[in-house]
A and B are shown apart, each in its own frame.
Chain A
Amino acid sequence: GAGVSQTPSNKVTEKGKYVELRCDPISGHTALYWYRQSLGQGPEFLIYFQGTGAADDSGLPNDRFFAVRPEGSVSTLKIQRTERGDSAVYLCASSFQPNQPQHFGDGTRLSIL
């Protein structure tokens, strides 16, 4: 497909487990963003990649969260020792260049039991 693809669409796991969320951006988009959205809130910025490097990771809440984009395309958001407060919808977006309109994937709904 031509849009941003996120997998899995839903993830349910137990507190303390490790999870990986994947994002496949639109082909040719150099900028990739991760957000977290809780019910009734706007998307909360987590991290932004320009190419392979994390240009800004200031939104990651703590060191349990980490993200990579090794080849400048697909990105993986990794959460260690999950906590119930990590439950949210994790959104990925990409844009052709930074500062340009971002296009969102359908998100991964993460539930920590």
Chain B
Amino acid sequence: QKEVEQNSGPLSVPEGAIASLNCTYSDRGSQSFFWYRQYSGKSPELIMFIYSNGDKEDGRFTAQLNKASQYVSLLIRDSQPSDSATYLCAVAVGGNDMRFGAGTRLTVKP
């Protein structure tokens, strides 16, 4: 089992819709969770991080964490074509190291 798993997609949503991206992880001891956005040919860019169970909102983005289910999600409200990118879920394991999922490719269609 991979340490961090994501649906590779592609996920396609119309402009203005909500995009829902999901991630599961295997290390029950993980405490820190991150979402990165990566445009083609560019490096990952931090969008959000979450440490506690529940929801964390930042503008159009909401991160959701459920440690009991070992599940993290990212919701993007009012999706824009500029949101089209690969979204990487990352989990801190062993306290300090980070492990990434393979990413979910999102396309927002005008």
Interface residues of A (CB under 8 A from B): 31, 33, 35, 40-45, 48, 50, 55-56, 91, 98-107
Contacts and interface: CB of A to CB of B under 8 A. Distances in A.
Interface in B65-93: 88, 90, 92
B61 interface: no
A31 B96 contact: yes
B43 A99 contact: no
Contact of A106 (B32, B43, B100): B43
B17 interface: no
Chain B contact residues: over half helix, strand or loop, or mixed? strand
Contacts of A105: 43
Residues of B in contact with A, size category: 20 to 34
A107 B44 CA distance: 10
Given A41-B102, A99-B31, A104 B92 contact: no
B88 A45 contact: no
Nearest to A50: B96
B42 interface: yes
Max chain B CB contacts within 10 Å: which of A33, A40, A100, A102? Answer: A102
23 contacts: A31-B96, A33-B98, A35-B100, A40-B102, A41-B103, A42-B4, A42-B102, A43-B88, A43-B100, A45-B97, A45-B99, A56-B94, A91-B43, A91-B44, A98-B96, A99-B31, A99-B32, A101-B46, A101-B49, A102-B46, A102-B90, A104-B36, A106-B43
